[in-house]
Amino acid sequence: MVHPLRCLRAPFNFRQLTCNARSVATESASAEPELLGRRSPELLRDYLQKSLYDPHEGYFTSSKGVLPVGSIGQPLQFSKLLGQADYLAAVKQRYNELQVGVHLHQSIFASWLTPSEIFTPYYGQSIANFILDKHSQMAKPDTPLRIFEIGGGTGTLARDILDHLRCSVPEVYRDVQYCSVEISPHLAQLQNRTVADAAGHSSHYQVECRDATDLLGWDSSQSEEPCFLLLMEVLDNCPHDRVHRESTSNPWLQTAVIQKQVSAHATLELLEPLTDDLIQQCLAVGPWEHNGKPVWHRLLDWANTIFLPTKCMMLLDTLVKACPFHCILAADFDQLPETRIPGKNAPLAATTVGGQTIDHSTYLMEPGSADIFFPTDFYMLERMYGVLAKQGLASAGGISTAVMKSEAFMKRYASIADTTTSNGYNPLLQDYSNTSFFVGQLS
């Protein structure tokens, strides 16, 4: 039986737990002066932003010889696989090949394979089918199709979507414009090679290397025409803030990060009075503690320590303002297995070696050394989007939202037969049970 909480980026149970050597502590803001480094404390989201996206040291943006995501190369032929065991072995083999850059045709290796890679081209075709279905409802006849993808990985999803449009609906493909907004210069170059050069979509595709949360970067893209915004495995890597309180009768405190003066490699988390506007706005979307769950489930929550998706809120706010007539499609984890870091919506800090996922006990690591990813509370994501959409609603139109498990989405939009093994096992439906899709439409 497939593990019900299998991690999206580690589709098999080769999980190795390790304790990171970096010193971790949580103290009050009144810590002794000799412990405080020369740098000022920074909010956790700013610390994580540097760890993941710093141009020189960030996990996704540095040039240390490792790409965060890789290409699977030749697509898996699911009908020739006997069942689950064959599938897991095939994926593990592809992970092993990533370590030597076999599929990237260069002297660097990659860490993860996303669903759009493992299920190429069928995953991209399902997204294309969703877009075509929604476009026919949103737009007037002959309205050109506009697609923006935030964080396009290796470009495989964009290539598969455009390939499907070119083959199935050439009249739509003729006027389609697809833009990838990518913060990593290295991935931006790879996307352009994959989609524009190798796949021949140069007249329909472009890459803009920038931060999607920066509203000014969207100036040239604003239009009164509807568009699609794709966020596939993006929300999990949006930096979060951490709040804590001793009990429900105490106020929330925000978390700051600082290096100890005695060691450049020792990092502290400090609790401060809650003053940050964005954290307060994010908390106000709540209640984050319960989220409509049954009482028995609430007992499992770390209700007094919560990781808040503040950067996700910034991104959604920017998208609502920049693209007032849109349909957002986001896919991500709704739960993470074996989380060792305490707190509600706590992240995993992980690396891969030889196809194995190594989980670390802290995210206070050497910048860029690990992927740090969070589960998405899709119930709260829906609430957050609704709040931001109402604030940015500039027309007489309306707001519609929907959340569905990945299995339900794929049953509706994917060609299920193409990802079914010979004994009937279908990993697209059965192997990603801890992932969901969110649809948000502003018209």
Is residue 39 domain-resident? Answer: yes
Which residues are within 8 A (CB) of 228 and not within 5 positions of it... i.e. 6 or more apart?
Answer: 131, 134, 135, 145, 146, 147, 148, 326, 327, 328, 329
In three-state secondary structure terms, 383 is helix
Q: Which residue range(s) make up the domain with 358?
A: 15-442
At 224 the pLDDT is 77
CATH, residue 322: 3.40.50.12710
In angstroms, the CA 97 to CA 9 distance is 16
Is residue 10 domain-resident? Answer: no
At 65 the pLDDT is 57
Going by the DSSP 8-state scheme, the letter that residue 62 receives in this structure is: -
Tokens representing residue 223 in the block: 């239009």
Is residue 233 domain-resident? Answer: yes
**Distance in angstroms between the alpha carbons of the first and the last residue of the chain:** 43
Name the domain count of the chain.
1
Q: What residues in the chain have per-residue pLDDT under 50?
A: 1-38, 102-107, 292-298, 300-301, 396
Is residue 317 domain-resident? Answer: yes
In three-state secondary structure terms, 299 is coil
> Which is it for strands 146-150 and 177-182: parallel, antiparallel or unpaired?
parallel
Maximum CA extent, the chain:
68
Cβ neighbours around 321 below 10 Å, total:
15
Tokens representing residue 435 in the block: 């992932």
In three-state secondary structure terms, 81 is coil
344 closest CA partner among 286, 424, 407, 401: 286
Is residue 2 domain-resident? Answer: no
Is residue 424 domain-resident? Answer: yes
Is residue 309 domain-resident? Answer: yes
**Stretch (H or E) spanning 402:** strand 399-405
Is residue 139 domain-resident? Answer: yes
